Structure 1
């Protein structure tokens, strides 16, 4: 499970900032899961977090920072070999950012062991890299890399095998973790594979057709009953999914179509192109979401409410919160604008304050992120109402009617 993510000088996050799924020590959280870790300890960890804030505040940038870290871990050995320097997405509004490093660090639990892995990237090389593990409950430094040292690599405790061979294979612009895991290093491969199996990124439009196809293939397999149940539960007028065979370029291709119930109770298959955008978006979500729940993976969803009705978005939240559905400790990190997902129609809280994080930008474009608990909401305070009223910050600095006043102040160009 993902515990913490630190980032600095990445996209709109100029200064170091941290997002935490782990509940702070001494705090009680009813929605948290107790995760056993080596050394006989347990950590309280949220199964999901929602990030809210104005447009262009940096919500998506945080998710993209996680994806960039994952991509670096998976690709630095092969993909970066053909590049000059290191690919980075820097803070763009300060020329000094180019001369500074970009920081990425993750705390996570894999197979009961907690790890802290991070690195700093410069313009042309990996400036620093480290891995700490807690196999007995106490921190062990497995390796520490610092490009400014005469001998960049240190291995306190000599816990890793084949160190010299792996160091020799590591280019200045490649991550040591990637090199070692690509060569099946026994201790480091599990850390690498955690990144491969997690941090899956979904956006409203990007790769939607691929996600639709992924769900289609899931329907044709053992997931059909579950997907049909979720389609029916969404009250879209859909009764089921029907495989359809067509001939394409001389070969038989199996596709699916959704079955709707008419006013007379008759089942009507509908062409896929006739389905609404909302229906197709929900369908495209189901395959990846079920896979994440089954695998116990971390799923990143940008703008959860963009193409889904608020009731649908709330149901996605409930699935990850429900311990009887989310039996493998999967996690969801999503961004949204619609704060109605914070509460149920009856006014009860759907997310605890510790699961709500807010993002806003300062006057020079730097993003800041903080938990709603920092604003100390009242125990029975209505979170959506107080948020929209600006009590917690992270809302647009926009007065009522301001857009119209600005437009009226600009002369309409004359025709001609």
Structure 2
């Protein structure tokens, strides 16, 4: 579970921003039973979901990019790059100082009832700093702290660091944590496995995660039924799903060519030549059931139905395994009621017994009036006149400014909380167009 994520000097964000998943005491009487994870051992109350609002080009997607970069750099820095290769990090470029400065990332999280705090500083050339702490009891313990290529570490708990230093294999552009995992350090492996189960996805492009649902339909009968139940609950008219192997419809020569390509290309999509058939009820002229008909998911179902189906596999994984799902533009192609349904699956003790977390951004203001969020689950991103984005929560406002029961959607739309487009210039230009309509030069 994520406790907190903060970063600075990355893309549209100049100063440090923090997403805090710790539940506020002020909102204790609002959706406390379902929306909050109570960890008595660690004396923590954590939120099961958070939603982020903001104008176009305000920084919502760039915030998701920051989490994605943090995760992917941890997983790949030691094996997907060579000495001297650039680090794919972009600082805030609208300030002359920050454009040359390092970018910093840090996350505090829980694995197996133990709190970890891990972070690093990087520029496009090297890792300038890196640190790892953990808290097995009440006291936080430093496991290692890296400054450039110099490392101080706990020799008892991280003995593998000595081997890495002796062999001088830590590259300037890779993370110590990633290298430690390659040396079978128990704690490093635990942390990397944690980040492997974190899914950061785009709600605009399903291509990156469509395989999750397709695999379940093909290989797991129980999961297939669960996905069908999710589709039925969304009232999409789908009664059943069937995996279709398109390769079997090709001639022998084509099948052999495809097999040869699959053998040679390691990262080819295993479902490139797969399709999902959806089963719908057919009715006669008297509206009585009269058999079924199959449609192609990719060719005949709506974009919204396709997205919900492809998301379903990741949603089930998160809920059943207590994983973290982070989605950019969750509402894209989906009806507001369906988005609310997805959020409610996470904000529920019944459907989310393993305490999975959902973090997403959206333009769907209907969620603000749905009653499914507390104040501390609602976040905004806005950009100042100098191009720098900032992140803040509805819970950050004074209690006499924002009350628990006020109409959040209405107040947000009229600009009370900020993070909305400033349209005066747009209105002026529109007025000029209307005034000049029909005039000739």
Question: Fold match, TM over 0.5?
Answer: yes
Corresponding residue for residue 351 of structure 1: 373
What CA distance in whole angstroms lies between the structure 2 residues aligned with 1:286 and 1:205?
Answer: 15
Q: 1:278 to 1:121 in 2, by over 3 A?
A: same
Q: What are the equivalent positions in structure 2 for 1:300-319 lying under 5 Å apart?
A: 300-319=326-345
Corresponding residue for residue 259 of structure 1: 279
1:86 is paired with a residue whose SS is coil
Give the drift of 1:25: 6.5
Any conservation in 2 of the 1:244–1:257 contact (CA below 8 Å)?
Answer: yes
What CA distance in whole angstroms lies between the structure 2 residues aligned with 1:158 and 1:211?
Answer: 40
* Alignment pair present for 1:380 and 2:405: yes
Aligned residues: 403
Q: What are the equivalent positions in structure 2 for 1:314-353 lying under 5 Å apart?
A: 314-344=340-370, 349-353=371-375
C-alpha RMSD of matched pairs (Å): 2.4
Q: Summarize deviations over 1:151-174 as a string: whole Å, max 9, x none.
A: 721125743213211233211221
Which contiguous aligned blocks of 4+ residues in structure 1 show a shift greater than 6 angstroms?
Answer: 409-415
TM-score normalized with structure 2 length: 0.85
Any conservation in 2 of the 1:212–1:280 contact (CA below 8 Å)?
Answer: no
Q: 1:368 to 1:248 in 2, by over 3 A?
A: same
Any conservation in 1 of the 2:90–2:124 contact (CA below 8 Å)?
Answer: no
Corresponding residue for residue 265 of structure 2: none
What CA distance in whole angstroms lies between the structure 2 residues aligned with 1:412 and 1:82?
Answer: 64
Corresponding residue for residue 117 of structure 2: 116
Corresponding residue for residue 360 of structure 1: 382
Q: 1:414 to 1:262 in 2, by over 3 A?
A: farther
Corresponding residue for residue 86 of structure 1: 87
Corresponding residue for residue 136 of structure 2: 135
* Alignment pair present for 1:35 and 2:39: yes
Q: 1:178 to 1:398 in 2, by over 3 A?
A: same
What CA distance in whole angstroms lies between the structure 1 residues aligned with 2:436 and 2:325?
Answer: 45
Give the drift of 1:381: 0.5
Task: Choose the corresponding residue for 1:281, options 293, 300, 307.
Answer: 307
TM-score normalized with structure 1 length: 0.90
Give the drift of 1:302: 0.8
| Unaligned stretches of 5+ residues in structure 1 | none
Give the drift of 1:255: 4.0
Any conservation in 2 of the 1:117–1:130 contact (CA below 8 Å)?
Answer: yes
Any conservation in 2 of the 1:144–1:155 contact (CA below 8 Å)?
Answer: yes
Corresponding residue for residue 395 of structure 1: 420
Any conservation in 2 of the 1:304–1:336 contact (CA below 8 Å)?
Answer: yes
Corresponding residue for residue 47 of structure 1: 48
What CA distance in whole angstroms lies between the structure 2 residues aligned with 1:213 and 1:138?
Answer: 42
Corresponding residue for residue 240 of structure 1: 240
